[in-house]
A and B are shown apart, each in its own frame.
Chain A
Amino acid sequence: MAEQSWAKHVADVLRRNGIRLYATVPDYIVSHVLDELWADPECRVVTTTREEEAVGLLSGAWLAGHRGALLMQNSGLGNCTNALASLNMASMIPMVLVMSHRGDLGEFNPAQVPMGRAVTHILDALGIRWIRPMSIAELEHQTDGLVKLCYVSSQPVAIVLPSELTGGKRG
């Protein structure tokens, strides 16, 4: 059973790692994290029309000196794969990707399943280091190190949020 405070923990680990700028195409699960960020006057959240646009925006913000995170559904990874490859990997522009993992355990919507299977393979194919914390303890244990790796390697990293952590979405 997922603990309700998981979303605050995600927001807190991002904020304590100096991330104040967020871009998003919302999804039901990450919206719980967005609620924390929208309520924080020190954080700015930009809603884009498509995940690829968010990658461009956060890349520009990095070039202007700001850390940024992209909050989305894992389906959005498909919408921004080329930008992550040809912009972020090719030019070494870091950002933190935070995505719900739809299409895995407990999924009710068949349309989510293929991308649910593909998501970590796409990240691996791009060479993007990812974590998939199954509990708040794992999230707290792994994320500081992941964000440090993001900026020391100057490449994107990803936090995949499984239904074991978030409770998923009920149909």
Chain B
Amino acid sequence: MSPLTRAGATKYLASRVKNEVLVSNLGQASLDLLAIADRPLNCYTFGAMGQCSSIGLGIAIGRPDVRVICLDGDGSLLMNLGSLCTIAAEAPRNYVLMVWDNEVHQTTGGQATATARKASLVGIARGAGVEKGIEVRTQEELERAVDRILKEDGPFIVVVKIDKGPSTAPFDQDLIGQASRFRKALAALPAV
């Protein structure tokens, strides 16, 4: 059992961000972020399993002056591992990929993913060419990792090992409204 929970880590990260963009994965990551720390600069993604890291990469390329932090899941990232190669090749300095790694497909009932067995996402990312990789297992390690990603140039991958368990937060069906609100909020953020 990990001492960290997705809700607790989300709450901590949200307390540290200001003008950073948070891009959350479908299911658990978006439900928790929406319930705990809703803000216009959150980009919730409820479609296209696997695409959270790629959507964040597109935002980071489109707004190189804004730091973009993706909140992906282990099951989703495992579905789009090629994204790590593209992140490494494009190497946006303003890009961070955080992964809530609970080693299960939580939304579908808790079936084990490959990270429960042999796979290391930091190791895979390193092989893809993402050199700044951090694995986090405690609150202290999380705080140190957040210090770094808010200060240093990326791209980063931060894999946060979290406890299993589904979000209890409700689902907001207004996907078009959420995307539109985010797009307007980002456009209104003055270019640095």
A residues in contact (CB < 8 Å) with B: 21, 44, 46-50, 52-66, 68, 82-83, 85-87, 90-93
- Interface contacts (Cβ under 8 Å), in number, total 124
**Judging by beta carbons under 8 Å apart, are A91 and B176 in contact?**
yes
Distance of A66 Cα from B85 Cα, bound (Å): 23
**Judging by beta carbons under 8 Å apart, are A64 and B58 in contact?**
yes
Distance of A50 Cα from B84 Cα, bound (Å): 12
**Judging by beta carbons under 8 Å apart, are A83 and B59 in contact?**
no
**Judging by beta carbons under 8 Å apart, are B86 and A82 in contact?**
no
Chain A nearest CB from B172 CB (Å) reads 13
Chain B contributes a number of interface residues (CB within 8 A of A) equal to 37
**Chain B residues whose C-beta falls within 8 Å of the C-beta of A60 in the assembled complex:** 23, 43, 54-62
**Chain B residues whose C-beta falls within 8 Å of the C-beta of A82 in the assembled complex:** 48-49
**Chain B residues whose C-beta falls within 8 Å of the C-beta of A62 in the assembled complex:** 58, 62, 183
Chief secondary structure at chain A's binding surface: helix
**Judging by beta carbons under 8 Å apart, are A57 and B54 in contact?**
yes
**Chain B residues whose C-beta falls within 8 Å of the C-beta of A87 in the assembled complex:** 45, 47-48, 51, 55
B residues in contact (CB < 8 Å) with A: 23, 43, 45-63, 80, 82-83, 85-86, 89-90, 175-176, 178-180, 182-183, 186-187
**Judging by beta carbons under 8 Å apart, are B51 and A63 in contact?**
no
**Chain B residues whose C-beta falls within 8 Å of the C-beta of A48 in the assembled complex:** 54, 82-83, 86
Q: A50-B82, A61-B61, A65-B186 are in contact. List 11 more A-B contacts (CB 8 A).
A: A56-B53, A59-B48, A60-B61, A61-B58, A65-B63, A65-B187, A86-B48, A87-B47, A90-B176, A91-B47, A91-B175
**Judging by beta carbons under 8 Å apart, are A46 and B182 in contact?**
no
**Judging by beta carbons under 8 Å apart, are A59 and B55 in contact?**
yes
| Cβ-defined partner of B51 (8 Å) among A46, A53, A92 | A53
